[in-house]
Structure 1
Amino acid sequence: MDTIFGDSTAVFQNCNIFLRKQVGNEVVVTGQKRSRDDNTGFVIQNSRVTLTDELRSSLPRGVKVFLGRPWGKYSRTVYIRTYLAQGINPQGWTYMDEMKDGNFVDYAEFENTGPGANTADRIKWRGVKNINRNEASKFTVRNFLQGGSWIASAGIPYSLDL
């Protein structure tokens, strides 16, 4: 079951994402879908992804927790400076049956922390990568959402940059 899903342009900043046991053997933070020419995607920035006690205790019974999965070609999710708790599957990303090769995804990580942030065993798809500061800056509120011109009027706290 996917926790955050759909096709939109969204930056989740300074969020606490609590994953809980769901129906089935997979818990997935994001399920994103976009068209080839869309500039949409999910960005999780300066946040915390943690597991409830119930979910953590179900891991030995075969439940797996993933950062995301594509709902179709061109899926995009970026984690920036986010704490990833113990229990995140080391491969990081999973697939739906029609997307087994993952060659069209855009999944990136930048300076994440925590026991689930080790990228050494991430799935080996062409579109899964660690990015540098310059690449990560493309996914900030300023650049990805052009938020400098409209978010202030909403009266919510946010950061334009990394």
Structure 2
Amino acid sequence: MPLRRTTPPAASSSGSSPDCTGKEKVVVDKPCITLVGTSASSTVITWNESWVAVESPTVSVLASDFISKRLTFQNTFGTSGPAVAMRVAGDRAAFYGCRFVSFQNTLLDNTGRHYYRGCYVEGGTNLVVGNAKTLFDKCHLHSTSWVGGAFTAHKRSAESEDTGFSFVGCKLTGLGVGTTILGRPWGPYSRVVFALSYMSSTVRPEGWEDWSDPATQRTAFYGQYQCYGEGSKTDGRVAWSHNLSQAEAAPFITKVWVGGQEWLR
């Protein structure tokens, strides 16, 4: 079967209708698979495990040409360490109206070209991590951190790697004021751009940090273009981040960023 479960499926809560919450781990290791739920609020795949191995995420997509619609991917491990709800390591993966919920390293956007439209990502720190080339289109990132949170941790290791996270028309919210940065470098050439997005007061004024490695200030690329909201003010941003012009932002803000004109339906 293309869709491989790594644990038994959850039992139905009644004798006549299936339970819309599956307590299981799922691995997708064949191409051209689509998973569709009735609604993300009612169709949930959940597991409870810390990130100790590549097999730890609740759901892992390892193959190309994957599509998911109206599903929630959840890891309920808690606040004591990383716990991945979804790992995406295949090329040309697209998610529509999906939810990703955990506390640390919620969405491991690992490798490949990916597209998220109208999705919701929740966590306390490092909500989106990995080294993929990804466009987040009209998505909502919500920080549950009261201190030390980060929305992203991109892992680009060399300037030659054509990867990065782009957030366009998105919304950033959180539980507290000034609790969460936009990103920090998991790799020295980390690349993240926020464009045309709403940033609430949960975003810290400095915006970005070097993760205690000042050398990354010369190599990471962090940019912002025409964002709005209390947390979008650029006068307090770290000096090594970029307030982008329209020309500078242009490569990041359409589906061309992920070659979507060739594979997105």
TM-score range, shorter chain: 0.7 to 0.9
Q: Select which of 197, 219, 225 maps to 1:82.
A: 197
Q: How far did 1:37 drift?
A: 0.5
Q: Is 2:137 the counterpart of 1:13? A: yes
Change (3 A) 1:142 1:101: closer
> Please, what TM-score do these two structures have when normalized by structure 1?
0.80
Aligned to 2:227: 112
Distance 2:242 2:210 in 1: 16
> Please, what TM-score do these two structures have when normalized by structure 2?
0.50
Change (3 A) 1:5 1:99: farther
Q: Is 2:265 the counterpart of 1:141? A: no
Of the two, which has the highest radius of gyration? 2
Aligned to 1:33: 155
Change (3 A) 1:101 1:86: same
Q: Which amino acid is the alignment partner of residue 104 of structure 1?
A: T
CA offset digits 1:93-144 (Å, max 9, x no partner): 012123465111111100000000000010112xx11111122110133331
Q: Which has the higher helix share?
A: 1
Aligned to 2:64: none
Between 13-22 and 75-84, the greater mean CA deviation after superposition: 13-22
Distance 1:72 1:37 in 2: 13
Structure 2 unaligned runs (5+)? 1-124
Q: Give aligned pairs, total.
A: 140
1:19-58 aligned at under 5 Å gives the runs: 19-21=143-145, 25-34=147-156, 35-52=158-175, 56=176
Q: Select which of 67, 72, 85 maps to 2:187.
A: 72
Query: More relative contact order in 1 or in 2 (CA 8 Å, sep 6+)?
Result: 1
Is the 2:188–2:216 contact (alpha carbons within 8 Å) kept by the matching residues of 1? no
Identical columns (%) = 26
Q: Which amino acid is the alignment partner of residue 208 of structure 2?
A: W
Is the 1:69–1:94 contact (alpha carbons within 8 Å) kept by the matching residues of 2? yes
